[in-house]
Amino acid sequence: MKVTTEELERCEVLLTIEVDPAHEQDLLKKAARRIARQVQIPGFRPGKAPYNTVVRRFGMEAVQQEVLENSVEKIIQDGLVEAKLVPYAQLSFDEISWDPFTLRVKVPGPPKVELSNYRDIRLEVKPVEVSEDDVNQALEELREQNATWAPVDRAAELNDLISMSVIETDGDEILADHDSVDHELVRPEQAESESDEETPARKQPDLTTPLLGLSAGDEKTFSVTYPEDFQDARYAGKDITFEVKVSSVKVKELDPLDDEFAQAVSDFETLAELREDVGAKLKKRRETEYDQELGQQTLDKIIEDAKKIEWPLALEEQMIDDELERFAEQFRQAGLPFESYLKIQNKTRDELREEVRESTLTGLNRSIVLGELAGLEKLEVSNTEVLERAKSIADAFGGNEDIWRRILASEAHQSRIANEVLSSKVLLRLAAIAKGEAPELVDEVEVSEAQSETLNQDEKSDTINKDDSTSETTKEPAITKA
C-alpha cells in the first residue's frame, strides 16, 4: 500500500492511498465470494461460484461496490496510521478510482494557531470593594434562606406560602392531579429576578394573582394562559383550568440578626464574626468574578492580535450539527416537535443554521485559543478537580444523587466539566498576566537541565555517602571469637 499526503487549505490534508495490485485482486475475489454466498447462482452451491462467473453475472461495478462497503474503512484506518494523521472531524471522500485501486480522502487536521506575544498584555485593573450595604444584603439573603413558615388564620397575601390540592385540565383532559402543593405567592418577574444565573427560572405564567385573598378551606376554579414557548408542549399556548382547595396559609418568619442567629447558621459565636466572614467570602467571590471578566478581556485582546487562527471547515460544520441536535433534543424532551418551534419563530431550518453558525464560530474561535493557551501555560485539570466541580453542580440542585450518578457515568459530562474547569484556569491565568502577576514560564529545556543537574548532585552525594560508609566500617574493630 502506497500512502502519500498533500497539505490543503483550512487545515485539511489530502490522503492518497494506492492499494497494491495483488491486494486489490484479493479484495475483489473476497467480495465476489460474499456476493455468491448472498445470492443463489444456478449450478453452484452458495459461495462456490468462480470469480469470473460472479463478475459476468453481476458486473464488475457490483463487485467493486462490495469492496467499498466492506473494506474501505480498514484501508483508510491503515492509511491514517501510516501517515500519522489523526482526524479532528468527519473525513470526506475526494475521489475513488480503480486500476490501481486508489482512495483520496480529505482529512481535517488540527487547528492552526499563531499568537502574538500575549504575555506582554497589560490592562487597567480596578480594585474590588465590598461595602457595608453589600454585607447587610448578604446577611438578609442568609436570613431568607433560613426562614421558617408559620400558619396564619387570614387571607393569603403576597410573599405568603399557600398549601393546596390542585387539578389541572385542558378541556376534558386531566394534565395533573396533586393532593398537596406548596406555592409561594410571588410575581413571575420577582421569581426571575431572584433566580440563580446558572439555573435561570423558566418562563412561568402568573399563578399568584388568582390565589391572592384565599383562606384555608376556600375552593376556587380559574384559568391561566401559558406562553407559546412554554417548555411543556401540553401547556404551551393553552388556557389551562385549575381547580384548587386551600389547606393552609403560612407567613414567612425571619430570625433577628443577632449572636443566636450566627450560632444557628454557622460555626461562629457572634454576629460580628459572621459578618466578617460573610464580607471576606463576598470579596473573594467578587475578586474571582472580576478576574474571570479580566481574563475574558485579555482573551479578546489575544484573539484580536493573533497572527493566525484557523480550523478545518468539517470541524465547523460538525459543531453546528451538534449544536442543532442538542437544540432539537431539548424540544423533544419537552414534547415539542422541533418543526413546531421553527414555525413559532417563523424561521426555516437553514435560517436557524446560519444563526447557530455565527455563535458557533465565536465559540470555536475562543475555545481553540483557550486550548492553545492551556498548552503554552502548561495548565492541566486533575480527576479530583473534575469530581469536586461535579459535586458542586449536584449540590446546587440540592445534592441531587441522580445528577451526581449521571455525571459519574458519562464520559461526555466529565469531559465537558473538565473543559469548563480548564477554561476557568486559563482565564484566571490571563487575568494574572494582565495584572503583571503571572508566574514566569520555565522552558522545558531548562527544566530538563535542572533535573539532570539535581540528579548528578544526588549521584555525587550517594557516592560520597558510600565512601564515608566504607571508611567508617573499616575503622570499626573486628569481631573475634572468645
Q: Are residues 160 and 238 in the same domain?
A: yes
Q: What is the pTM of this model?
A: 0.70
C-alpha cell at 39: 445470492
205 lies in the same domain as 280:
no
- Cβ contacts of 459 within 8 Å, gap of 6 or more: none
Domain membership flag for residue 313: yes
Element (H, E) at 445: helix 444-475
- Total count of domains within the chain: 4
Do 271 and 246 lie in one domain? The reply is no
Answer yes or no: do 307 and 427 share one domain: yes
Same domain, 338 and 469: no
Task: Let me know if residue 49 belongs to a domain.
Answer: yes
In a domain, 122, yes or no: no
d(CA 187, CA 123): 42
| Residue 185 grid cell | 405567592
167 and 212 in a common domain: yes
- The residue out of 189, 218, 253 marking a domain boundary is 253
Assess if residue 130 is contained within a domain.
no
The Cα–Cα gap between 291 and 430 comes to 8
Per-residue pLDDT reduced to its tens digit, 145-193? 999 999 999 999 999 999 999 999 999 999 999 999 999 999 776 655 5
Residue 142 belongs to a domain: no
pLDDT at res. 325: 87
Q: Is the pLDDT of residue 143 over 90?
A: yes
The rounded mean pLDDT for the chain is 86
Domain's final residue, options 210, 231, 253: 253
Give 175's strand partners. Answer: none
- Do both 391 and 295 map to the same domain? yes
Q: DSSP for 147-164? A: -EEEE-SS---TT-EEEE
Per-residue pLDDT, averaged over 312-331, amounts to: 88
pLDDT digits (tens, 9 = 90+) for 339-388: 877 887 788 888 888 888 888 888 899 999 999 999 999 999 998 998 88
270 in the same domain as 226: no
User: What is the Cα–Cα distance from 290 to 427, expressed in whole angstroms?
Assistant: 11
Q: Can you give the CATH number for the domain in which 425 is found?
A: 1.10.3120.10
Residue 464 has pLDDT above 80, yes or no: no
Q: Is residue 386 part of a domain?
A: yes
Chain CA centroid to CA 182, Å = 34
**CA quadruple 378, 384, 387, 388: dihedral sign:** negative
Q: Which amino acid is at 44?
A: F
Report residue 453's pLDDT band, with 50, 70 and 90 as the boundaries.
low
Reference 119, options 271, 247, 301; nearest CA is 301
Least confident of 30-34, 220-224, 439-443: 439-443
Can you read off the three cell numbers belonging to residue 360?
Answer: 458557533
**Share above pLDDT 90 across residues of the chain, in percent, rounded to a whole number:** 63
Length of the chain: 482
Cell of 298: 485579555
> What are residue 183's DSSP bridge partners?
162
Q: Are residues 236 and 272 in the same domain?
A: no
Helix axes 383-396, 411-435, angle to 10 degrees: 100
- Structural domain including 84 reads 2-109
Whether 1 and 79 have beta carbons less than 8 Å apart is answered as yes
Residues contacting 68, CB < 8 A, separation 6+: 96
Which amino acid does the sequence have at 331? F
Sign of the dihedral defined by the CA atoms of residues 204, 207, 209, 215, in that order? negative
CATH label of the domain that carries residue 34:
3.30.70.1050
Q: How far apart are CA 354 and CA 239, in angstroms?
A: 34
For the ranges 6-15, 354-363, 398-407, the one whose mean pLDDT is highest: 6-15
In a domain, 127, yes or no: no
Grid cell listed for 332 = 423533544
Pair 205, 224: CB distance under 8 Å: yes
Q: Read off the C-alpha cell for 6.
A: 498533500
* pLDDT value of position 8: 94
Tell me if 181 sits within 8 A of 165, measured CB to CB. Answer: yes
Domain boundary among 51, 81, 109: 109
Q: Are 308 and 334 found together in one domain?
A: yes
Q: Is residue 134 part of a domain?
A: no
Summarize the confidence of residues 451-475 as an average pLDDT: 44
Instruction: Report which secondary-structure segment, H or E, holds 242.
Output: strand 239-253
Q: Is 159 left (phi over 0), alpha (psi -120 to 50) or beta?
A: left
* Selection from 2, 27, 3 nearest residue 13 by Cα: 3
- At residue 461, the pLDDT reads 46
The answer on 424 and 451 residing in a single domain is: no
pLDDT at 430 exceeding the cut of 80:
yes
30, burial (CB in 10 Å: exposed 0-12, middle 13-18, buried 19+):
middle
**Residue pair 90/111 in contact by the 8 Å Cβ criterion:** no
What's the pLDDT score for residue 193? Answer: 53
DSSP 185: -
With the CA atoms of 325, 329, 331 and 336 taken in that order, what torsion angle do they form, in degrees rounded to the nearest 10?
Answer: 100
Residues 237 and 272 in one domain: no
For position 180, which CATH number holds?
3.10.50.40
